[in-house]
Amino acid sequence: MNQMMESIFTETTTGTGTVTAGMFFLCMGVSVVLGIAIAGLYMFRNQYTKSFVITLALLPAIVQMIIMLVNGNIGAGIAVMGAFSLVRFRSAQGSAREIGSLFLAMAVGLAMGMGYIGVAVAFTVLMGLVTGILELVKFGERRNPELLLRITIPESLDYTQVFDEVFQTFTKRCKLVQVKTTNMGSLFKLEYRLTMKDMNQEKAMLDELRCRNGNLEILCSYGDCNTESRVL
């Protein structure tokens, strides 16, 4: 077990590791396999895009190559740090799961670049098991998720009390978090965060709100999933 956790690279008197062609292709092959496993783990019960999962599958091999090329060279290390900084500022922030998967792939690539094949494999398997168990037991999942509700009303309505009766009937908690004027001040856009008493009553609540806002636009989305939304 202890030998599995050691690097396959031999140390020289200068402190850098000697890498042979066989070692390189062995690490590259394992990196690709682990990258595909991490991509499959990300796709498990999750929405994804083809480009992201392909990138996730290749990321461990890319990071491994970078670490092998740096190999104790301070100048190369600084150049790599600058390159990663440029990538960071040119990319949009993803979801929590995307960021976690990227860090996992980078950690595996870092371990492979230093020759710790056993560590990388054990870490990937352990994280996969933990993620699968948490998904199956629905850890952290709310029975009634928080909703983000945006309502457009004419300026003639008093938004402070006009929807109070509806919210008292259908919601456990409701808070007005933002008010914005639009259309030259003739309309108000209200943003609420609320928790439903019963998710099956969502349409009934929206119908009541439409009767009070003059059937203007209403947007209802889940607070923890911005891609799932409805506009009425």
**How do residues 122-156 score in pLDDT, each as one tens digit?**
999 999 999 888 888 878 776 667 889 999 999 88
> How many alpha carbons lie under 13 Å from residue 194 in its C-beta half-sphere?
27
Per-residue model confidence (pLDDT) at position 94: 64
For range 148-174, the mean pLDDT: 90
For range 98-108, the mean pLDDT: 87
Spatial separation of the C-alpha atoms in residues 126 and 134, rounded to whole Å: 12
For 63-79, write each residue's pLDDT tens digit.
888 888 776 666 556 66
For range 204-232, the mean pLDDT: 74
For range 57-61, the mean pLDDT: 91
For range 166-187, the mean pLDDT: 90
**Domain 146-231 class in CATH:** alpha beta
Angle, CA of 98, 102 and 104, to the nearest 5°: 115
Q: Where are the alpha helices (DSSP H) in the chain?
A: 21-43, 50-70, 74-89, 96-113, 117-136, 164-170, 202-212
Per-residue model confidence (pLDDT) at position 96: 79
Confidence of residue 87 (pLDDT cuts 50, 70, 90): low
Per-residue model confidence (pLDDT) at position 18: 66
Q: Of the ranges 133-147, 172-186, 210-224, which one carries the lowest mean pLDDT score?
A: 133-147
Q: Which of 3, 2, 5 is nearest to 117 (CA)?
A: 5
Domain layout of the chain by residue ranges: 3-136, 146-231
For 182-207, write each residue's pLDDT tens digit.
888 889 999 999 988 888 888 999 99
On the question of pLDDT at 92 being above 70, the answer is: no
Burial of 85 (0-12, 13-18, 19+ CB in 10 A): exposed
